[in-house]
Structures are given as structure tokens and as C-alpha cells.
A and B are shown apart, each in its own frame.
Chain A
């Protein structure tokens, strides 16, 4: 099992245009229990019917603030949580399954193809196990290879993630390594069984700024070389820009906007995306951002009403938003999808405001 360029082209060839992952109406509703014998009537809609696809070799960024459901989505894709509804169709060569419906030993098989990189480099490794144990654990539990073969594979991966000479790291304990090194090992562990899909849950948010880049570059490079697709979960739009081909913006369990990264960043259409982008600080004091304020209302996560989830905070909410259900994702040019009824009106309003400001400035 060595990694070569053949792996990547081999993978793409097997795909013939089909998406690697197709998520339909994915749902996660947590019941709020009421009493011992009555079935619950209140639910937290953590993930409320989302749809998206990931192509082989593609990196999709799932972006949003805390509580939007991005982490829950990621965990459902690797079966750390069971969805309460919807389907996750996973196509990897001739392996095609609905992940949401897998049970028992089928799950174990699935785990060879989809892996996860966790956020906390300090907590994601058992402190009592050596690096070798940690990285070879997937192989050990799946009963792949003999011990010497596993050693060889772990060394290969350590070299791949830039920990050289790898023999020095093999029998270290996590507490002897720095955060950046540990995160590299997390990457190694995720890739040890040559998966075709990896969920990365904020892998750099707990690292120092200067270390983040090296980890991000490592992940990008390996994605290219090995043809691995990522679901990259982050709250940091700047990082998402760097790492992702496409971005999906989530709000309160729904995807409100999705499209190619540069397109979303340059021409956000949904008012939430606009507000989000205008709030991100930019490391250049000479740039003045045009503010897009949102109201301080509270959006209900428990038993949300059927209309647009963003209504309480949207500065552009109108009558039609109140009387219609939550808007569906609609395409507005070049794979750019937006879930909003008033996209054109909002753009007109903002343009008018901008012209006013420019006129005043003169």
C-alpha cells in the first residue's frame, strides 16, 4: 500500500462525473424530553434538511457561526451521530451506500473510506498511547496488515506529513510534541487507510497563527496528491477562502448560500452572508469595510416556525418573507445557490445606499 499519483487518477477515473457524496434533506433533530412516558414534542432543529454534493477531489467549506449545525453535519457524515432523517449517498468506485442507513459491520467497512480530523490537537490523541499506536489504530481495529507492515505504513505516513525523520516520532507520546506536530499526526491518522473523504472540523483554530499555514498547506497538498475530498468545517472565512473550492454558508441548521469560494466572497447574495463577510476583520488597516448590520433578534432553534429562519435578524425582511416558508436554495448563475426570496431587491437597496454614501463623500 504505497501512495502514488496512480491513486488519484485511478480514483477520478472510477468516478466518471458522479459526485462522491450526495446529501439530501439531511436532518438532525434533538428531542427535548418531557416526562418519563410521554413522547417528546419539542425538538432542537440542529440540522434542518440540507442538501449538497461534494465531487471527488473537491474541498467544500462549511462555514457559519456557533450553533449553525456545521459540526453536527460533519459528525453525521462520519457516523459519529445518527441523522434523524435524510440520506447520505456515498459513491467511491463500486462502493455505493446510503451512509445514513448503515448498521453494524457495514459501518466498519465505511470507516475505511471516510475519516475525520479533529479540532483539538491536545485532546484528539490518547495521552497514554504512543504515536505509533495512535496512527496505526485504524489498521489495528480493522485488522489490516501485520505489525511490521503497519510500522512501515506509519513511517510512510509520518514522512508524508512532514515529520522527519519519522523513526524519531514513532514511539513518542503526544505530550512530547507541539500542537503543530500533533495536528500533522492527526492528518496522518486520517489518511492511513487511504480514505477518499475526510471531514476536517476546525483543524487549525487551536493552533498558533504561524503554524496554521503549514497545516493548511499540508492538507491542500495531500488532497491534490491523493485525490481526497474534504468537508472543511470552519468559522473563519479567511481560512475557508484559502482551503476550499466551494463554500456553503449555514445558519441555524440550513444552508443559506453555496457556491465557488471566490464567487461567494466577491458577490455574496444572502443578507446573512453579506453581514458575515462585512464583520470579518481584515489585516490591513487601510481597508474600510462597508458595514451590513443585522438586527439583534433571536432566531428560534427549538421548533422553528416554517418561515425563513433568518427573519428575526434580517434587515431586509418583508411581508413575503413572513408568509412564505423558508426559501429553498435556488441557482443564481454559475453554481451559485442562494436561499432568499428578495435577492434582487436587496442588491438594489444596497447599491442605492452605496451611491448615496459615495455622493456624500464627494
Chain B
């Protein structure tokens, strides 16, 4: 395998071609008390060069989806059915070794809280070098690696001299940039960013998000953003999916979903998010708690908390259906969901 160490690979992207297709993925965790239905029939597609968001609250399954894509689930996780196709190849059918080849080179991940998982006793450069050793052994020599790492650091806006420093000498934002650099190390086609800015201050968060967008565009990468913060998702994604209790309840172009959310949960979520601009909208709380995934509700999983629920919702699970313009919803009564009053304006 020849690696170009001159530049980080930039690619031509064809935004109509799918890069990653998640097709009716079902994944469950086995625990002593039973089976936790963590990812239930989730399907979505990430195109080349696209930024996709997965939004939802704690326990909705978004991190489980991310880990499933990389096959980094714990030993008690079980893939029940479905496919994950990367460039047409089903990742779930690969052997462990074959998956190892793809991991980090084709898809990599910025894990939740990764900025705090730098080993404090090693220099940051040495830790990134470890990644390069693992994937490019025999192909890159020591100097090649150094050049490559310097390019990575420039790409994320860090001075190359920081490679020789220890993690405690970095600020929070710098550590997160270094994590992103590590994720970029093998020039993957897709990066999954799980809560990349959650622990950071607002101004640093803004800088990191802008940086990620720039990198994504410059290198022709696709990104999956996972976050519970809808405002962040609104800023950086082209399409987004809303997850609730292991199910994908709404999916579509970001602008479309925000302009007119069709799933009651998405609607209520938007109505319960305060914003610094626009009129001081009357915010509506969401009653109740997310369900226990050991014993999820029958029919539509949101029905116990849904103001539009009917008997049908209790018995039949609504499928994810297209309602036009690439916007899909899983709800029997999506046409009853009202418009968000006072659409935000400056």
C-alpha cells in the first residue's frame, strides 16, 4: 500500500454517491436482566463529503450507533440484523482482521471525552506516533512520521512544536484539536465525532467547530456529528437524524427538519431549547422520562409522552416514511404536528 506523505489525501467528492449506508441496523446488549434494545431498525445514508448529525438525549442510542459502525462494541453487544455498508462493502461481515484494516484508515472516531484520555506520561507526539506505527509499519520511517504529524497539526491549527509537549501543557481546546489530528492520521473518508465540543467553553467550541468544517471541506471528508446539543448540530450539519429510545424517528436535510419538524419528539425538543436570538419563545417542557430499553413501550416508543398519541400508536410501530425532499418521519400523526410558532428571525 503506498501512502502519500506529501499531503494529507484530498479527494474529489461526488455528493450524490453514498459513502456509508446503515441499513435497518438492530443491535442489542445482553445483560443479566435481559436484553437492552439499544439500536432498533436504524437506517440512514452518509454521502461523500456530507456532514450528518445524530441528535438525541442520553440513552437514545446515538453513541451505540457510532460504536457499531466501527465495531467497537463491548463483548456483550450483539448485532441482531441489518447491514453497514462502507463503499458498498458490508462491515458486519468482515473478519476482525479485515475490520482492523478499515478501522482508522477508512473510518475513524473522535470519542466522547477523548480530550481527557491522553496518557499524561507520554508526549502527545509520541502518542500519535503510536497510531502511525500501528497502521503504517514498514511504510513510514521515523522522519516520514514526523513530517506527517506536523502536517496533521497544521491542519487542525496547532503549532507543530506542540508535538513535543505533554498533555498537561495543552489547554482543553488544544487537546481536542490534537484528538482530531489523531483521528485524521490515516486520512479516513469518514470521521465520527461524538460530542466533540461538549466539555469546551463556548468560544473554543465555536473555533473547533469552524476548524472541523474547514478540514472536512478541504480534505473532502464526510463527518457524522453526534450531540445532544441541537444548536451545535444546526450549525455544522447538512442532514440530521433525531434518535429516541434506540429508534431513528426523523431524518432529513438540516434546514428542512429545523424549519418544520414533523415528529412530535423533534418538535417538542426544539420547543424546549432556549436560544439567545429570536423572540423569547414560550418554551414547553417534555413530561416524563425516556423509557427503559430493557422493556421498551409497545408500538411507537414515544407514545407514553406524546401529546398526539392514539391507540394506533400503542399497538403499531410507525415506519420511517419519506414525506418529501428527503425528509423522513416515523409517526402516524406527523401531519398533526404544528408549525413552530415564531420561526426564529434576527
Contact = CB atoms under 8 A, between A and B. Distances in A.
- A/B: CB atoms within 8 Å of each other: yes
Interface of A: 65-66, 178, 180, 208-214, 216-217, 235, 237-239, 241-242, 262, 265, 275-287, 294
B263 to A, nearest CB: 13
Nearest to B284: A213
Interface string B260-290: 0000000011101111111010011111011
Interface in B200-259: 201-203, 205-207, 209, 228-232, 234-235, 254-255, 258-259
B346 interface: yes
Contacts of B285: 210-211, 213-214, 217
B94 interface: no
17 contacts: A178-B289, A208-B57, A210-B57, A213-B283, A216-B283, A238-B231, A242-B274, A242-B280, A242-B283, A278-B206, A280-B202, A281-B206, A282-B278, A283-B230, A283-B258, A284-B234, A286-B259
A294 B209 CA distance: 15
A65 to B, nearest CB: 4
A193 to B, nearest CB: 27
B344 interface: yes
B117 interface: no
B274 A211 contact: no
A235 B200 CA distance: 10
B228 A209 contact: yes
B119 interface: no
Contact of A210 (B207, B231, B259, B268): B268
A149 B238 CA distance: 58
A65 B58 CA distance: 24
A178 B231 CA distance: 25
A211 B274 CA distance: 12
B58 to A, nearest CB: 6
A275 B203 contact: yes
Contact of B272 (A178, A180, A212, A235): A212
Contact of A238 (B207, B269, B275, B346): B275
B239 to A, nearest CB: 11
Contact of B201 (A212, A235, A284, A286): A235
Which 5 residue pairs are nearest across A and B when measured between Cβ atoms?
A: A210-B286, A279-B206, A281-B231, A65-B201, A214-B285
B275 A284 contact: yes
Given A213-B285, A242-B283, A283-B258, A276 B231 contact: no
Nearest to A210: B286
Given A217-B285, A294-B203, A283 B275 contact: yes
Contacts of A216: 274, 283
Given A66-B201, A239-B274, A286 B255 contact: yes
A285 B234 contact: yes
Contact of A180 (B268, B270, B275, B289): B289
Given A178-B289, A210-B286, A282-B344, A265 B276 contact: yes
A241 B274 contact: yes
B258 A285 contact: yes
Contacts of B277: 265, 282, 284, 287
Contacts of B278: 282, 284, 287
B269 A235 contact: no
A283 B270 contact: yes
Given A210-B268, A242-B283, A283 B273 contact: yes
A277 B203 contact: no
A280 B275 CA distance: 9
B15 to A, nearest CB: 18
Nearest to B345: A287
Contact of B229 (A210, A276, A277, A281): A281
B218 to A, nearest CB: 19
Given A209-B230, A242-B280, A281-B235, 10 more contacts: A209-B273, A216-B274, A242-B283, A276-B203, A279-B202, A280-B231, A281-B209, A285-B258, A287-B277, A287-B346
Given A65-B202, A213-B272, A294-B203, A282 B231 contact: yes
A164 to B, nearest CB: 13
A214 B286 CA distance: 8
Contacts of A265: 276-277
A283 B232 CA distance: 7
- Among A212, A217, A265, A275, the one with the most B-chain Cβ atoms within 10 Å of its Cβ is A212
Nearest to A281: B231
- Among B207, B229, B286, the one with the most A-chain Cβ atoms within 10 Å of its Cβ is B286
A265 B277 CA distance: 8
A151 B84 CA distance: 56
A287 B209 CA distance: 16
A221 to B, nearest CB: 12
A209 B272 contact: yes
- Among B202, B231, B258, the one with the most A-chain Cβ atoms within 10 Å of its Cβ is B202
B269 A209 contact: yes
Contacts of A280: 202, 206, 231, 276
B249 to A, nearest CB: 14
